C-alpha cells in the first residue's frame, strides 16, 4: 500500500478516487504514487506527481492524473496518425484529452491539487476518470478502427482478462441532474461581476458569458454557456477560442493532438479537464470542456474560467518547459520567424492515391466488423438490417457506425477546387485528391471549408 507523505494532497486525491470507485482489490495494483485498475477490457491508471511547494500560494501542490490507453500500434498503416487522430477528437469534447504516447493513443485528464481545493478538484478528476474509462470501453474500438491500430485491451497480470464489467461502467445510465436545468445558469451574471472585479472583461450576451483576459496579445475569447451535452445532459461549457493557432518552429499550426501533448509535457498551471479539438479536419483548434450538473458547487465555475485564463497565458508566453519557442500568432500577425519561413511550395509533390472514406458497422460487445461500405446509405442500410434481426441489441445501442480515411496524405500546400459529388458540393485537392469534408448543398458554403485547409 502507498506510504503517504505529509503534506501530500496528491496521494490524498489518489486514495479518494480509489475509495469513490469502490475498486476491487483483486482487480487493481498499487504502485508508489498511484494505482492501476481493470474495470473490464481496458486498464486505467491514476497517479500523483511528486509534490512541490508553490511560493505564490504558500502551499504544497501536486498534479494528479488519470489515463487510459485506448489504441496500441507498432507503425500505423495510415500515413499521418496524429493528423487523423486530431480529426477523430469529437467536436464536442467533455473532460478528457486524447494524447499520443509513443506508438499509442490514450485519454488523459489532470488537475492541480492542494489542501484548499482538494475536495472539488478530487471530485472533478473522479468524474473525468469515469467518463474516460467509459469512453474507452464504448469508443476505443472506433478510434482503433480509424487509425488502423489495435484496441489497447489489457489483462490483469495475475488474474488475466476481466470477464464481467465493473458496475461503475454503468454510471451514465442515471447521471444526477442530467435532465434538470443547468445548475450554473443563475451564476453567470454573478460570475461576470466577480471577473470584472479582478480586471477581466466579462459580459453577458444572451445566455452566454464572453470573457477576455487583459494584457494577453493573443486574439481570444472564452465562451461560457449552459447548452446541454447529448450524453452528460445539463451543465456548463467552457470554450477557449483563438484568432490564430499556436505554431511550431517551422510555422505549421499545431494539431489538437499536439496541443494536448504539450499541455502534459510542459508545466501548464491549468487543469487539463477537456481537450483541444477541431470542428472539422484542418479547422481552427479550440479548447473545450463540459462540466455536468453533478459537479455543481459554488465557486467551481469561477476557478475553471480562471484556469482557462492560465492556459491562455501559457500560450501567449511562447515558452515551453525547455525554453523552446512555441510560435503563437497574435492579433498583430505571425511572429518574425513565421513571416520569413521559406515557402512550402515549389515543385508539385508526386500525386498520391485518392483519399476515401470507409464506413464500418461493428457489434460493440464483441468488437466484430459486420460491414464495410463506401457510402452512407449503404452503411445505414446494413445497420437497419442488423438491428432488425437483433431488436434487443438495437435497444442497447450495440450496433455502431464508425469511419476510417483511406490514403489520407498531409502534403502542403493543398490546392483546392470546387467539386460536386453525390449531390453535394465539397473541396477537392488537385495535389492529393479529395479531402474529407462535411457535404454542403450550397456551393457558397464550401468556401469557408476550403479556406480552413
Contact 287, 275 (CB under 8 A): yes
DSSP class of 235: E
pLDDT digits (tens, 9 = 90+) for 179-222: 899 999 999 999 999 999 888 999 998 889 999 988 676 678 99
Average pLDDT over residues 407-431: 43
Specify the 3-state DSSP secondary structure of 406: strand
Average pLDDT over residues 409-413: 38
- Give the pLDDT band of residue 239 (cuts 50, 70, 90): very high
Distance from C-alpha of 304 to C-alpha of 48, rounded to nearest angstrom: 20
Specify the 3-state DSSP secondary structure of 197: helix
Distance from C-alpha of 101 to C-alpha of 215, rounded to nearest angstrom: 34
Contact 154, 43 (CB under 8 A): yes
Residue 120 cell numbers, joined: 472539488
- Give the pLDDT band of residue 379 (cuts 50, 70, 90): confident
- CA atoms within 13 A of residue 90's CA, in its CB half-sphere: 19
pLDDT digits (tens, 9 = 90+) for 103-136: 889 999 999 999 999 999 999 999 999 999 999 9
pLDDT of residue 295: 95
174 contacts: CB under 8 Å, gap ≥ 6: none
138 contacts: CB under 8 Å, gap ≥ 6: 364
Q: Which residues of 49-87 are buried (b: 16+ CB within 10 A; e: fewer)?
A: eebeeeeeeebbbbbbbbbbbbbbbeebebeebbbbbbb
Residue 133 cell numbers, joined: 474509462
Average pLDDT of the chain is 77
pLDDT of residue 428: 47
Nearest by Cα to 34 from 69, 61, 73, 63: 63
pTM: 0.70
pLDDT of residue 112: 95
406 contacts: CB under 8 Å, gap ≥ 6: 355, 356, 357, 358
* Residue 437 pLDDT exceeds 60: no
pLDDT of residue 258: 87
- Give the pLDDT band of residue 413 (cuts 50, 70, 90): very low
Average pLDDT over residues 149-174: 90
Amino acid at each position: 500500500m502507498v506510504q503517504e507523505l505529509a503534506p501530500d494532497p496528491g496521494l490524498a486525491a489518489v486514495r479518494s478516487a480509489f475509495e469513490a470507485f469502490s475498486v476491487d482489490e483483486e482487480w487493481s495494483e498499487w504502485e508508489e504514487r498511484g494505482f492501476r485498475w481493470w474495470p473490464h477490457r481496458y486498464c486505467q491508471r491514476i497517479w500523483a506527481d511528486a509534490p512541490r511547494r508553490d511560493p505564490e500560494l504558500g502551499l504544497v501542490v501536486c498534479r494528479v492524473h488519470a489515463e487510459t490507453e485506448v489504441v496500441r500500434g507498432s507503425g500505423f498503416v495510415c500515413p499521418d496518425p496524429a493528423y487523423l487522430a486530431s480529426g477523430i477528437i469529437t467536436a464536442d469534447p467533455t473532460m478528457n484529452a486524447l494524447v499520443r504516447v509513443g506508438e499509442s493513443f490514450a485519454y488523459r485528464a489532470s488537475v492541480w491539487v492542494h489542501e484548499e481545493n482538494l475536495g472539488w478538484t478530487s471530485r472533478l478528476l473522479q468524474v473525468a476518470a469515469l467518463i474516460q474509462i467509459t469512453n474507452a470501453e464504448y469508443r476505443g474500438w472506433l478510434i482503433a478502427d480509424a487509425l488502423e491500430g489495435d484496441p489497447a485491451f489489457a489483462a490483469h497480470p495475475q488474474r488475466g482478462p476481466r470477464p464481467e464489467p465493473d458496475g461503475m461502467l454503468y454510471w451514465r445510465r442515471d447521471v444526477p441532474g442530467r435532465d434538470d436545468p443547468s445548475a450554473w445558469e443563475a451564476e453567470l451574471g454573478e460570475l461576470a461581476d466577480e471577473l470584472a472585479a479582478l480586471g477581466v472583461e466579462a459580459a453577458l450576451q444572451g445566455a452566454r458569458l464572453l470573457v477576455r483576459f487583459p494584457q494577453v496579445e493573443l486574439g481570444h475569447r472564452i465562451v461560457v454557456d449552459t447548452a446541454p451535452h447529448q450524453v452528460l445532459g445539463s451543465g456548463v461549457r467552457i470554450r477557449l477560442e483563438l484568432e490564430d493557432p499556436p505554431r511550431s518552429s517551422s510555422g505549421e499550426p499545431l494539431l489538437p493532438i499536439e496541443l494536448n501533448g504539450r499541455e502534459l509535457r510542459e508545466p501548464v498551471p491549468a487543469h487539463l479537464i477537456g481537450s483541444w479539438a477541431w470542428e472539422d479536419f484542418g479547422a481552427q483548434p479550440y479548447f473545450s470542456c463540459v462540466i455536468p450538473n453533478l459537479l455543481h458547487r459554488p465557486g467551481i465555475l469561477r476557478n475553471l474560467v480562471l484556469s482557462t485564463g492560465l492556459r491562455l497565458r501559457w500560450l501567449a508566453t511562447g515558452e515551453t518547459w525547455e525554453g523552446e519557442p512555441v510560435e503563437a500568432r497574435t492579433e498583430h500577425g505571425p511572429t518574425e520567424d513565421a513571416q520569413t519561413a521559406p515557402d512550402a511550395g515549389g515543385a508539385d509533390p508526386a500525386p498520391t492515391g485518392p483519399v476515401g472514406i470507409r464506413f464500418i458497422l461493428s457489434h460493440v460487445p464483441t468488437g466484430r466488423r459486420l460491414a464495410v461500405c463506401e457510402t452512407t446509405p449503404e452503411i445505414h442500410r446494413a445497420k437497419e438490417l442488423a438491428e432488425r434481426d437483433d431488436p434487443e441489441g438495437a435497444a442497447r445501442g450495440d450496433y455502431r457506425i464508425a469511419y476510417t480515411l483511406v490514403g489520407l496524405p498531409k502534403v502542403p500546400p493543398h490546392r483546392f477546387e470546387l467539386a460536386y459529388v453525390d449531390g453535394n458540393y465539397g473541396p477537392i485537392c488537385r495535389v492529393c485528391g479529395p479531402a474529407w469534408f462535411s457535404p454542403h448543398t450550397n456551393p457558397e458554403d464550401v468556401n469557408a471549408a476550403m479556406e480552413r485547409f
